[in-house]
Amino acid sequence: MTAGAEPSERRGGRSVPPPAAAVLRETTAGRIHRDLRADIVSLRRRPGDPISEKTIAAAYGVSRTPVREALLRLAEERLVEIFPQSGTFVARIPLAAIEEVLVVRKALEETMARMAAERGDEAGFEAIAATIARQREAAASGDRDRFHEQDEAFHAAVAEAAGYPGVWTLVQTVKTQVDRYRRLTLPVPGRMTAVIAEHESVLAAVRTRDPDKAAAAMAEHLTALMTFADASGIDPDYLLDAPEPFTKAAE
């Protein structure tokens, strides 16, 4: 740049795109962030697992700079913990944060269930029923990934039947830690069967156009998740702020 020229970001009162190398680094960091985030939320990377910057950089064929950028974003989302002297690890699941998010979910999704009962049509009800049928198939085959996918589809279908699909999009922005915990509970004996029964209760109330019962069934479904906080089979080391039963077990 010649003397007296304006910074490359602003020239002649207009924005100038950043250098190609910066765009590439940003794109790569975003891709690494998305991939690692998906691995963490799906529990392919479990709480406490170490994350090696060197290994990830080699896997993507990049320097460590975009890897560090991705990890910093994940740290802001409380999905990883970075210890300068020890390394980076997948963060434990904060139960206190889950309880807070469930307050938000209940407020929104009880309303969606109520409105689906008031405003939904048969096509919307059939769409909800179809997600439950697919969940039964997934449970029968032990496919927890597909079960989780159809769990998401169920809640999206309720919001669609209510006429406000964007509400489910909003819920998705705050429920990352809930998704991690839900995945953790699925192997617990009886959990998938219980979820299906809870979904069927919501559908039954919506189909009979009983708004109060639909809202109550949705609230019961969302609250039931926390009853698995002391369920057997969940490693207490995966959880932050574990309840008393976990504390005793850890001792």
The candidate with the shortest Cα–Cα distance to 90, out of 52, 47, 129, is: 47
Q: Are 238 and 92 in contact (CB under 8 A)?
A: yes
Amino acid 184: pLDDT: 86
Amino acid 112: pLDDT: 98
The candidate with the shortest Cα–Cα distance to 178, out of 221, 128, 212, 140, is: 221
Amino acid 251: pLDDT: 31
How far is it, in rounded angstroms, from Cα 109 to Cα 162?
10
How far is it, in rounded angstroms, from Cα 64 to Cα 66?
6
| 94-250 CATH pick, 1.10.10.10, 3.40.1410.10, 1.20.120.530, 2.30.42.10 | 1.20.120.530
Give me 67's structure tokens: 């890897």
CATH number given to 16-91:
1.10.10.10
Domains of the chain, residue spans: 16-91, 94-250
Which residue type is seen at 191?
R
Q: How does pLDDT run along the chain (251 residues), one tens digit per residue?
A: 444 443 444 444 444 444 455 444 458 999 999 999 999 999 999 999 999 999 999 999 999 999 999 999 999 999 999 998 899 999 999 888 888 888 999 999 999 999 999 999 999 999 999 999 999 999 999 999 999 999 999 999 999 999 999 999 999 989 999 999 888 888 888 889 999 999 999 999 999 999 999 999 999 999 888 766 555 567 778 888 655 443 333 33
Amino acid 99: pLDDT: 84
